Amino acid sequence: VKFLAAEALRGVGGLLLDADGHRFSNELGRRDYVSDKMFHNKGPFRLVLNTASSNEMKWHVEHYKGRGVMKEFNSAYDLAKEMGIPASTLEQTFKDYKEVASKQEANPDGGEYDAYPTGKTFDKFGKKFFKNYDFQMNDHYNVAIVTPLVHYCMGGLKIDTSAHVIGKDDKPIRGLYAAGEVMGGVHGNNRLGGNSLLDCVAYGRISGKDLINNFYPSAQRVPLKDLATGRTEPRKPSIVVGGGLAGFSAANTILERGGEVILIDKSAFCGGNSSKATSGINGSCTKTQKRLGVKDSNEQFEFDCMKGGSKNPQLIKTMVEASGPSV
């Protein structure tokens, strides 16, 4: 099982150790830097959080333990035993780390090594900022095995200034838009935290405006605040994209106001709220069935809606298959 862990796990003081129990990188380095260090060192690699670090990320830690990707140890001795290394090795690693961190705390601008991103440090791996660095052998630890993983691709479909996808003939494909990670051309060769927000928000808005102007000009008469609260004119179709359970809730609100809804979302089996999303699907279908007087099962009703077989479909659910696990 692989799971993309929050960057904050490193930020609150998590240590990255190789198979021999040694540090091998600046834990706060970029993903590409840390991945490269892993490729040149001995795995498996572990992210180790002491009690202080774990408490700062308690929700995340409990979530990852529940997923089975993080394990709790009653002491560093137990961790060393599982790693198959002498406990003295971990003890020395912890001692060296605390010594470096203490020096840096006492003299923030000192040190003989170049720090990342700037300045000097006492840490040979270039780490300048330390948090929760007191690792004791008798402390409790939460540990996860970590590995390099391609989870974001730079680049993608070529688009024009209206977010139209450019075809093989270098001409825009009418009606086909791209926004988010699927498109390229905004960022450089390294992923930045939250860079999808620019792609999605900016180009989502651009493509939405162009789509309305060219294909559905009457929609411009609906104020944005009314769309946000589901206050659309009766029989005027609305589109709710994603949002999991919140998306289904928004769809239900629009239905209750007499509107029609197209709900586009990923498969329910792909995230931390999968059970809630699944119950939301069933709840939405049940409510809609009662309103229409349909007595079929949820599954049959969903199928009929997707086929467009009902004369007055109130809820169309497009589930994007093969989306893979959401991590």
Strand positions, DSSP E, 50-153: 71-73, 113-114, 120-121, 141-146
- Residue that is written with structure tokens 């893979």 in the block: 324
The torsion angles phi and psi of 172, rounded to 5 degrees, stand at: -65, 140
What angle is formed at CA 24 by the lines to CA 19 and CA 29, rounded to 5 degrees?
A: 130
d(CA 93, CA 95): 5
pLDDT at residue number 175:
85
Q: Where are the domains of the chain?
A: 8-146, 152-220, 222-327
Spatial neighbors of 179 by CB under 8 A, at least 6 apart, are 163, 199, 200, 203, 204, 206, 207
pLDDT at residue number 205:
85
Q: Tens place of pLDDT for every residue, the chain, 327 residues?
A: 566 777 889 999 999 999 999 999 999 998 888 989 999 999 999 999 999 999 999 999 998 998 889 999 999 999 999 999 999 999 999 999 999 999 999 999 999 999 998 999 999 999 999 999 999 999 999 999 999 877 667 778 889 989 899 998 999 998 888 887 778 766 666 766 676 777 778 888 888 888 888 877 766 666 666 655 555 554 555 555 555 556 666 666 766 666 666 665 554 433 334 444 444 445 555 555 566 565 666 555 555 554 443 333 344 433 333 333 332
Q: What three-state secondary structure class fits 138?
A: coil
Name the active-site residue from 10, 23, 30, 31: 31
Quick one: fold of 8-146? Flavocytochrome C3; Chain A, domain 1 (3.90.700)
The pTM assigned to this predicted structure is 0.59
d(CA 304, CA 251): 18
pLDDT at residue number 279:
46
Looking at this protein, which amino acid is placed at residue 176? L
- Residue that is written with structure tokens 């270098």 in the block: 170
3-state secondary structure 139-207: CCEEEEEECCCCCCCCCCECECCCCEEECCCCCEEEEEECCCCCECCCCCCCCCCCHHHHHHHHHHHHH
d(CA 85, CA 81): 6
Strand positions, DSSP E, the chain: 15-17, 45-49, 71-73, 113-114, 120-121, 141-146, 164-166, 172-177, 237-241, 260-266, 315-320
Question: What's the CATH number of domain 222-327, 3.40.50, 1.10.3470, 3.10.450, 3.50.50?
Answer: 3.50.50
Q: Is 31 considered catalytic here?
A: yes
d(CA 317, CA 277): 13
pLDDT at residue number 117:
86
Q: Contact, 8 vs 61, CB < 8 A? A: no
What angle is formed at CA 81 by the lines to CA 77 and CA 87, rounded to 5 degrees?
A: 45
d(CA 5, CA 327): 8
